Amino acid sequence: MMFCRMPGQRLSIRDNAAVGRFHGVSASNGQAISEKHSGSIVRKESGCWHWFQRACPCCVRRQSSSNDVSGDVDGVAPGDVEKERPTPPTLNGDTELDELTLAVRSVDLLSEKSDQNKTEHHTDQYSSDQLIIRRGQTFQIELDLSRPFNPNTDKLHLEMKTGSLPQVSKKTHIIIPLVDELQDERWEAKMVEQKDNRVRLSVNSPVTAVIGKYKLTITTQNLKTGETTTHDHDKDIYMLFNPWCEEDTVYMEGEKELKEYVLNDTGRIYYGTEKQIGARTWNFGQFDEGILEACLFVLDNSDVPPSGRGDPVSVVRVISAMINSPDDLGVLEGNWSGDYAGGTSPTAWSGSVEILRQYHRERGTPVKYGQCWVFSGVTTTVLRCLGIPTRSVTNFQSAHDTDVSLTTDVYLDENMEPINHLNSDSVWNFHVWNDCWMARPDLPPGLGGWQAVDSTPQETSYGTFRCGPASLAAIRSGQVYLKFDTPFVFAEVNSDKIYWQRNLDGTFKQIHSDKKAVGHCISTKAVGSDERVDITHLYKYPEGSEEERIAVETACRYGSKPNVYSSPIADDVQVEVKMEGEGPRMGGDAQLKIVVKNSSSQPRRTTLHSQVAVMYYTGVLKDTVKKDTLNVELNPQEEKTLDWVLPYTQYQDQLVDQAALMLTLSGRVTETQQVLANQTSFRLRTPDLHIESIGEAYVGKETSAKITFTNPLPCTLRDVVIRVEGLGLRDLHPIKVGDVGKHANVTVTEHFVPLIAGKRKLVASLDCRQLSQVHGVTDIDVHESQ
């Protein structure tokens, strides 16, 4: 078996168990192959003839096809040339045999799915017949030689090259010697089995090896004659990061975690609002045919040379930049306009496979279009494919700080109305990014583990649209001075929302702060199940705790407004917005409740100004659809609940993607001049696509699934398309449904032929101008063919 030191294992990883059992030789392995494939031999004459030349040079004469010879031959005058060349003597015994130049006739990389290399390197799920291995772990290859290898007279070494200009100094041209015993942390090979002309080598790589695609060359040399041969193998070797290896910086403990964050090819991505969390299945598909090649193509398209691909921090930073397209023609073009002509609506994607295949197929043309969950899903695919443990993460009420203040600032005029052109900071209903797992030797101790990385293009980092990796431990403690992009991520999850009012002289004063407005219900898929798990505690201390306040104030001292916490303000009246159940549904009136509470021992009066606006999920407002003024009088310790209704007729023609709205409340308490401010986002829930498997499913046999949908709107949906896909079931297939009448039911039947046995997920999404974020999923148990 192959080895990598695991937790608790302190023995040498190069013990006798490294020798694998020798496989039987297939018929093709014993056949001679053409000179084209067998490598180039420096000396053209046979070993026997070469020996005879040295033993008896005076007897050596060249034979001509005719009896006419002109000119000197081997320094012998023409008249002295004999008409017949003497036959060289027959050589017997090992000594004479060793004079023959040793050549490699063929190479077996042992790269079948069931072979030892792929099973022990956890790469047997990749849909490829190439050798895919993980660094820091031995792998084995078999060589078919022209004769038996003799260690006394033969020398052999391997060379592996990656990139367009391999260099030994850059660790992209590797020379691998043949040694008696393998040692850790170096490239070397050991002969572990020999049978006639066939040998098996165990090859070791260091845990710092550059990842990527390598070319293999085998060179042999006769120590007595100096003659050499080279064999350039026609198949590539793919090297990945190794999270199973304790010495690799991406090492992760726990088989359940590795199975989830590296080997799971499907997952869940969360969206909506903190009170209306939705979930959709995403096909990561990191093992699908062509995806590994596509991921390496993404790296090749970047400005980072192959020599920089041994450090996961650098690789993650490159991928963060290359998944978006603004400055480097990366994988996805972002689009938040609502107009997706010429491309695919972001809500219509259900997986990464077709996106990466299209990008690779079109030689680096960005795919249209993506939004945050699409950027995150593709990032998860690429990093898992390369061997870095990764998960998609959703932050609800996610702040976008544009001025590095580490606060989310809301500016109001003298009449408490928002000043829109100044309100560049925004709070997204939700934002999806990624966590990836690695050590951080470039940071102080204790800051390894989960790192936040965000591929959605929001702000530039050192001139490029990218973000991270930022240590979650650093974010949690407010250490925003640590790289990379920690201030931006901190503001996303733990900034305070500060309200500023314009004075008559044009200056601004701080009138209110909301310390719990940002960073709620940070969510990811649970290990081993489709349940949602809340990981907010990894990003921030409990809201309002002393540790959390210290972290916020520590971070803000490094921001552009370090004195923001200098003035305390009255706070005995609170206002909040509540919704019942799962919240309003698309096609009906939106009903919310406004709760105002007086916690003082004195009566309080206030006038609340309310306005609701249609909003992109990014927090950018489109149009205001309703305004109200509410007069509220409160007795001491009284709490009042006010009903608030937005009729369907007022928003039906205004909605954009995600069907999100923002309700803004502002007011001032008459007795204390305390400012009341609250912003609540909510979405109108959309129906699901219901998918039902029809009959039993078997590998290689056609089966079916029924997909049903009900239009929730009192209007006709135009040009409806249902997109269906499933890893191991079928590639992406768009079904043109056409127009769907108001409140009408639609049923379509999808036929497909499963390719892989086991529990597979069939995913469908609806693509329609008037209705987005409609999708469904079902599990299909595929049996082996009978």
Which percentage of the chain shows pLDDT scores above 70? Answer: 84
Helix (H) or strand (E) holding 474: helix 472-477
Closest by CA to 116, choosing from 90, 155, 93, 142, is 142
Helix (H) or strand (E) holding 724: strand 717-726
Whether residue 495 is predicted with pLDDT greater than 90 in this model: the reply is no
- The pLDDT of residue 25 is 33
Annotated active-site residue in 372, 385, 467, 556: 372
- The 3-state DSSP class for residue 377 equals helix
Which of 9-18, 144-153, 727-736 is least confident?
9-18
Confidence at 90, pLDDT banded by 50, 70, 90:
very low
- Binding-site residues: 494, 496, 543, 548
- Binding-site residues for Ca(2+): 494, 496, 543, 548
Q: Return d(Cα 672, Cα 680) in angstroms, integer.
A: 24
- The pLDDT of residue 12 is 35
Annotated active-site residue in 454, 485, 657, 767: 454
- Count other Cβ atoms within 10 Å, centred on residue 577: 19
Span 375-404, average pLDDT: 93
Higher pLDDT, 670 or 160: 160
User: What are the pLDDT digits (tens) for 8-50?
Assistant: 443 333 333 333 323 333 333 333 333 334 344 444 344 444 4
- Count other Cβ atoms within 10 Å, centred on residue 445: 8
- The pLDDT of residue 649 is 85
- The pLDDT of residue 570 is 65
Whether residue 671 is predicted with pLDDT greater than 50 in this model: the reply is yes
Q: Return d(Cα 248, Cα 575) in angstroms, integer.
A: 51
Which of 341-350, 455-464, 478-487, 668-677 is least confident?
455-464
Span 214-227, average pLDDT: 93
CATH class of the region 98-240: mainly beta
Annotated active-site residue in 121, 231, 233, 431: 431
Spell out the domain ranges in the chain.
Answer: 98-240, 255-557, 573-683, 690-783
Whether residue 358 is predicted with pLDDT greater than 80 in this model: the reply is yes
Span 453-470, average pLDDT: 85
In this prediction the pTM is: 0.74
SS (H, E, C) 537-578: HHHCCCCCCHHHHHHHHHHHCCCCCCCCCCCCCCCCEEEEEE
Q: Please list, residue by residue across 735-761, b when 16 or more beta carbons sit within 10 angstroms of its beta carbon and e when fewer do.
A: eebeebeeeeebebebebebeebeebb
Closest by CA to 285, choosing from 773, 763, 775, is 763
- CATH fold, domain 255-557, is Coagulation Factor XIII; Chain A, domain 2 (3.90.260)
For 322: left if phi > 0, alpha if psi spans -120 to 50, otherwise beta; the answer is alpha
Please state the CATH superfamily assignment of the domain spanning residues 690-783 in this structure.
Immunoglobulins (2.60.40.10)
When the pLDDT of each residue in the chain is averaged and rounded to a whole number, the result is 84
User: What are the pLDDT digits (tens) for 390-408?
Assistant: 999 999 999 887 777 778 8
Whether residue 148 is predicted with pLDDT greater than 70 in this model: the reply is yes
Residues sharing a CB contact under 8 Å with residue 68, sequence separation 6 or more, in sequence order: none
- CATH fold, domain 573-683, is Immunoglobulin-like (2.60.40)
User: What are the pLDDT digits (tens) for 682-727?
Assistant: 888 888 999 999 999 999 999 999 999 999 888 899 999 999 999 9
Q: Return d(Cα 584, Cα 683) in angstroms, integer.
A: 7
Closest by CA to 611, choosing from 399, 772, 412, is 412
Which of 183-197, 485-499, 617-631 is least confident?
617-631
Concerning whether 715 is annotated as a catalytic residue, the answer is: no
Which percentage of the chain shows pLDDT scores above 90? Answer: 58
Whether residue 414 is predicted with pLDDT greater than 80 in this model: the reply is yes
Concerning whether 454 is annotated as a catalytic residue, the answer is: yes
Confidence at 442, pLDDT banded by 50, 70, 90:
very high
Confidence at 561, pLDDT banded by 50, 70, 90:
low
Q: Return d(Cα 631, Cα 608) in angstroms, integer.
A: 6
User: What are the pLDDT digits (tens) for 737-771?
Assistant: 999 998 899 999 999 999 999 999 999 999 888 88
Span 568-578, average pLDDT: 80
User: What are the pLDDT digits (tens) for 265-306?
Assistant: 999 999 998 988 999 999 999 999 999 999 999 999 998 899
- The pLDDT of residue 546 is 79
Whether residue 344 is predicted with pLDDT greater than 90 in this model: the reply is yes
Cα–Cα separations (whole angstroms), residue 294 to 115, 630, 713: 24, 57, 41
Burial class of residue 303, CB neighbours in 10 A (0-12, 13-18, 19+)? exposed
- The pLDDT of residue 38 is 39
Confidence at 236, pLDDT banded by 50, 70, 90:
very high
Concerning whether 657 is annotated as a catalytic residue, the answer is: no
Whether residue 733 is predicted with pLDDT greater than 50 in this model: the reply is yes
Angle CA(215)–CA(217)–CA(221) in degrees, nearest 5? 170
The answer to whether 98-240 and 573-683 have equal CATH topology is yes
Whether residue 94 is predicted with pLDDT greater than 70 in this model: the reply is no
* Long-range contact set of residues 584-588: C-beta below 8 Å, sequence gap at least 24: 584/646, 584/682, 584/684, 584/685, 585/684, 585/685, 585/712, 586/659, 586/684, 586/685, 586/686, 586/687, 586/712, 586/713, 586/771, 587/648, 587/684, 587/712, 587/713, 587/714, 588/648
